[in-house]
């Protein structure tokens, strides 16, 4: 492929993907050189891809001393370069809402494509993730090993610890991240844009996740930096969002430690265009709650404890969900270790997920309990010690839905497990040894099937993880206890 001037090639791509024109070439050239150094003006390249060109410019910036060699500095320069083709927030919002008036789906898709094009959504990093589907007694489960997010540099962590925090932005979900340069301990957000919208008379933002776990993984965030909370307003917000953003599901992490997500300090929801394993799970027991004749309800065949509500009357669904939440907050059943309060600490909340199917709203309410005990100090309804060699982190919204997010350490560790299973020299970790021995005893393992067997076994562990997190187990005793709770809410 013929070589061309690197800076000019990048400028051509910026013009093709933005509002700039050829009249802006000199201006753009000077903007780029100010970031990476004047020596870049003579650099040549055989690349054509926008992100490849950006990476080469970052390398020149590093060689010129305009950027240090660490990942944070490179990310800042990269985001600065990609911000050249990212319209101003006011322009992005104006275009979104103008298009929305004609087609909500087109407005959403345009914003999604922009977020990818400007490299806010890290498509190349996301492509590194390992993903597969595996069977279980609850239907198919999805597994992803997260390799997208860059690992933190220990030196940068130490440096950040010595740096006095400005407290700005307050967290990575605040609107103040839009256009923020970034720093050693904070991600670059120069090319980040947020759509503002009104959600039940309050200002909220809509953005995409830079390291998506599923198709069109997005975030809905409050303009206020206030803690996560599950309340009647949550259910109303979720059902309003699925009207405002057609084709998307939306759900909220729980608002308590252990059973909640990684950021409890800022009210937000997650959504996207994906059909999860839990969405396919059938109703095992139909329910009819007293006073809610228009709402179809039932217990879901799922390792976690799910009450599914369905109907066209949004207000009825919100009211019933609020009634279930109120009942669950104070409900205890010692026969199955369910306690609403201990030592003055409240333990019960709900992980709610909403979607639309035709004209019906569907609201799944997953009961959560964050108790700990001497036997289970990480959590009674949390992955138990015998599965923590695979998954020990919180079971948040995405995992509740049946998509496991496993840590990157498992890639090299599973390679050693694979060698062990095949009888090859290996460095298997002690934490995996008993599990690997059990697999070897029950599976006829060969080179041709070892990968599939290992994937299926990981799926079985994830099913166990979800069972551990389930409050009312999928056993006769567990389901009888579940029915005692729904009777407490009030059946017709």
Amino acid 175: pLDDT? 97
Rounded to whole angstroms, the Cα distance separating 317 from 321 reads: 6
Q: In the beta sheet, which residues pair with residue 351?
A: 366
Amino acid 154: pLDDT? 45
Rounded to whole angstroms, the Cα distance separating 410 from 406 reads: 7
Query: 44-45 and 130-134: which strand pairing?
Result: unpaired
Rounded to whole angstroms, the Cα distance separating 219 from 106 reads: 18
Amino acid 165: pLDDT? 58
Rounded to whole angstroms, the Cα distance separating 57 from 81 reads: 9
CA 255 and chain centroid, separation: 16
Rounded to whole angstroms, the Cα distance separating 467 from 118 reads: 40
Closest CA to 183 of 299, 72, 52, 302: 72
Instruction: Give me 202's structure tokens.
Output: 């309050």
Q: In Å, what is the CA distance from 294 to each residue of 79, 242, 323, 479?
A: 50, 19, 15, 25
Question: Would you put residue 468 in left (φ > 0), alpha (ψ -120 to 50) or beta?
Answer: alpha
Amino acid 492: pLDDT? 86
Q: What count of residues does the chain have?
A: 492
Rounded to whole angstroms, the Cα distance separating 489 from 297 reads: 13
Q: What is the DSSP letter of 481?
A: H
Amino acid 153: pLDDT? 47
Rounded to whole angstroms, the Cα distance separating 163 from 138 reads: 49
Rounded to whole angstroms, the Cα distance separating 308 from 286 reads: 9
User: Which uninterrupted H or E stretch holds 284?
Assistant: strand 283-287
Q: In the beta sheet, which residues pair with residue 254?
A: 260
For the chain, state the CA radius of gyration. Answer: 25
| Burial readout 60-99 (b: 16 or more C-beta within 10 A, e: otherwise) | bbbeeebbeeeebbbbbbbbbbbbbbbbebeebbeebeeb
CA 34 and chain centroid, separation: 36
Amino acid 420: pLDDT? 96
Q: Is the peptide bond before 169 cis (omega within 30 degrees of 0)?
A: yes
pLDDT (tens place) for every residue of the chain, 492 residues total: 678 999 999 999 999 999 999 999 999 999 999 999 999 999 999 999 999 999 999 999 999 988 877 788 999 999 999 999 999 999 999 999 999 999 999 999 999 999 999 999 999 999 999 999 999 999 999 999 988 875 554 454 445 445 555 789 999 999 999 999 999 889 999 999 999 999 999 999 999 999 999 999 999 999 999 999 999 999 999 999 999 999 999 999 999 999 987 789 999 999 999 999 999 999 999 999 999 999 999 999 999 999 999 999 999 999 999 999 999 999 999 999 999 999 899 999 999 999 999 999 999 999 999 999 999 999 999 999 999 999 999 899 999 999 999 999 999 999 999 999 999 999 999 999 999 999 999 889 999 999 999 999 999 999 999 999 999 999 999 999 999 999 999 998
Q: Is the peptide bond before 251 cis (omega within 30 degrees of 0)?
A: no
pTM: 0.93
Closest CA to 264 of 397, 399, 418, 109: 397
User: Residue 99: how many CA atoms within 13 Å on its side-chain side?
Assistant: 15
Amino acid 409: pLDDT? 94
The angle formed by the CA atoms of residues 368, 374 and 379, to the nearest 5 degrees, is: 25
């Amino acid at each position: 492929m013929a070589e061309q001037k690197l800076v000019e090639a990048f400028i051509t791509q910026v013009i093709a993907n933005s509002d700039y024109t050829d009249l802006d070439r000199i201006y753009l050239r000077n903007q780029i050189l100010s970031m990476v150094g004047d020596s870049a003006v003579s650099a040549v390249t055989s690349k054509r891809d926008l992100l490849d060109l950006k990476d080469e410019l970052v390398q020149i910036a590093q060689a010129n001393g305009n950027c240090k060699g660490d990942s944070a500095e490179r990310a800042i320069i990269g985001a600065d370069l990609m911000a050249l083709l990212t319209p101003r927030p006011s322009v992005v919002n104006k275009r979104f809402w103008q298009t929305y008036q004609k087609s909500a789906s087109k407005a959403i898709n345009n914003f999604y494509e922009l977020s990818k094009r400007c490299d806010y959504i890290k498509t190349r990093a996301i492509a590194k993730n390992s993903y597969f589907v595996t069977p279980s007694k609850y239907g198919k489960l999805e597994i992803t090993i997260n390799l997208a997010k860059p690992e933190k540099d220990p030196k940068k962590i130490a440096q950040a610890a010595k740096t006095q925090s400005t407290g700005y932005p307050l967290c990575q979900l605040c609107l103040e991240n839009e256009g923020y340069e970034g720093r050693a301990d904070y991600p670059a957000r120069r090319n980040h844009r947020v759509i503002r919208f009104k959600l039940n008379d309050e200002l909220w933002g809509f953005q995409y996740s830079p390291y998506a776990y599923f198709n069109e993984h997005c975030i809905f965030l409050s303009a206020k930096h206030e803690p996560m909370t599950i309340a009647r307003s949550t259910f109303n917000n979720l059902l309003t969002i699925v009207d405002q953003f057609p084709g998307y599901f939306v759900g909220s992490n729980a608002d308590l430690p252990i059973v909640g997500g990684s950021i409890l300090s800022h009210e937000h929801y997650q959504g996207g265009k994906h059909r999860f394993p839990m969405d396919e799970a059938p109703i095992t027991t139909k329910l009819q709650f007293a006073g809610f004749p228009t709402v179809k309800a039932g217990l879901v065949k799922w390792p976690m404890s799910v009450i599914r509500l369905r109907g066209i009357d949004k207000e009825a669904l919100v009211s019933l969900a609020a009634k279930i939440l109120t009942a669950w907050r104070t409900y205890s059943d010692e026969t199955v270790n369910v306690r609403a309060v201990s030592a003055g600490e409240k333990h019960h909340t709900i992980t709610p997920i909403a979607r639309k199917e035709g004209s019906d709203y569907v609201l799944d309410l997953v009961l959560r309990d964050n108790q700990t005990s001497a036997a289970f100090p990480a959590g009674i309804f949390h992955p138990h010690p015998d599965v923590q060699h695979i998954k020990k982190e919180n079971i948040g919204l995405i995992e509740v839905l049946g998509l496991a997010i496993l840590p990157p350490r498992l890639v090299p560790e599973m390679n050693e497990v694979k060698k062990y299973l095949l009888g090859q020299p290996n460095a298997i970790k002690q934490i995996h040894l008993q599990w690997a021995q059990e697999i070897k005893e029950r599976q006829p393992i060969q080179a041709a099937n070892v990968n599939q067997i290992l994937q299926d076994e990981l799926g079985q562990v994830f099913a166990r993880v979800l069972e551990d997190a389930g409050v009312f187990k999928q056993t006769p005793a567990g389901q009888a206890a579940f029915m005692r709770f729904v009777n407490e809410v009030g059946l017709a």
